[in-house]
Amino acid sequence: MSTFIEVFAGCGGLSTGLMEAGWTPLLLVDNDKSCVETLKLNKDQSLVLKEDATKLNLAEYKGRVTLLAGGVPCQAFSQAGLRKGIDDPRGTLFNDFARFINECEPKMFLVENVVGLTTHKAGETFKNVIALLTGDSYDVTFSVLNANDYGVAQKRKRIFIVGLRKGSFPSESKFVFPRPLDYKPTLRDALLNCPKSDGVAYPEAKKKVLHMVPPGGCWVNLPIEVQKVYMGASFTSGGGKRGMARRISWDEPSLTLTTSPCQKQTERCHPDETRPFTVREYARIQTFPDSYVFHGSLISQYKQIGNAVPVRLAYHVAKQLYEFNTPIDR
């Protein structure tokens, strides 16, 4: 049996993909109350644990777990954040993940994170993370994958790090990440017959501005005087700023969903209606099944979904891992 433990499990995007690919969960851990309740609503409650990562010990699972997986909290390295990296306390959670590896000694491990991890401090942070996870016992490989290449209607790049325990696989065995699919879904594909659900609304002033933006457009499509007022100091700053006042078109994938549906710098306006995407539309774009239930306030649900690994992306990576491991189990 191919078993897994997921730490930093969030609302369950990665674990859902793993389970769809054939993996059997032993434990799903997170410290966020709403995420834990969401996991309990959709998974076996007996496998869900609310626990602080710094207090968690996985030694009892030694010899029982095939794969240790986790999306180590990534805000410390996000392009949208302050990028404090290892100087941020959340950066030290990589140390806890390395400790979990040592405690339960899985045959394989999988880490997901933002691409900003690879460039933080000119790549020095990433080198340290790889060295920390590799230790003396694992061979490690990694790749940056775009969710749109794997059945997700979203331009969302993430880095995946895979570790293989030395001696657990033939020396000639090399893990290869899944090849991109030919099919590249658009927002139209994702939101076809999407169930109705709650969603936040724009303030009237913002709504008037975004109403002027055509599908596929952004702030550059606004009258110059409106640009200056709406963008403020950003109007004269450097960078493309194409996420501001951005309306997605039906015939393109969404830009990366964030934890808030109406942040000024990373706007994602509905193609036809002048509003943010609803919770269910967020979930569709992240490829959660319509039956998946999210617990908590509206803002919490957006945050959970925005932080999640897209289910279909998780599935394709998980399937590749499952097929790599299966011949060894037989």
Fold match flag (3-180+308-329 vs 187-306): no
Q: Which of 74, 104, 218, 262 is catalytic?
A: 74
Domain borders along the chain are 3-180+308-329, 187-306
Please give the CATH architecture assigned to the domain spanning 3-180+308-329.
3-Layer(aba) Sandwich (3.40)
The answer to whether residue 90 scores a pLDDT higher than 50 is no
**Residue range 33-61, pLDDT digits in tens:** 999 999 999 999 999 999 999 999 999 99
- How far apart (Å, rounded) are the C-alpha atoms in residues 105 and 66? 9
Give me the half-sphere count of Cα atoms (radius 13 Å) on the Cβ side of residue 87.
6
Query: 309 by DSSP, 3-state: which?
Result: coil
- Its pTM stands at 0.93
Query: 128 by DSSP, 3-state: which?
Result: helix
- The pLDDT mean for the chain works out to 93
Q: For residue 19, which of 305, 258, 275, 322 has the smallest C-alpha distance?
A: 322
Round to the nearest angstrom and report the end-to-end CA distance of the chain.
9
Output the pLDDT for position 76.
58
Output the pLDDT for position 237.
84
104 given a catalytic annotation: no
Q: For residue 66, which of 25, 8, 13 has the smallest C-alpha distance?
A: 25
187-306 in CATH: which number?
A: 3.90.120.10
Contact 7, 29 (CB under 8 A): yes
Long-range pairs, 19-22, Cβ under 8 A, ≥24: 20/311, 20/315, 20/318, 21/315, 21/318, 21/319, 21/321, 21/322, 22/318, 22/319, 22/322
**Residue range 127-141, pLDDT digits in tens:** 999 999 999 999 999
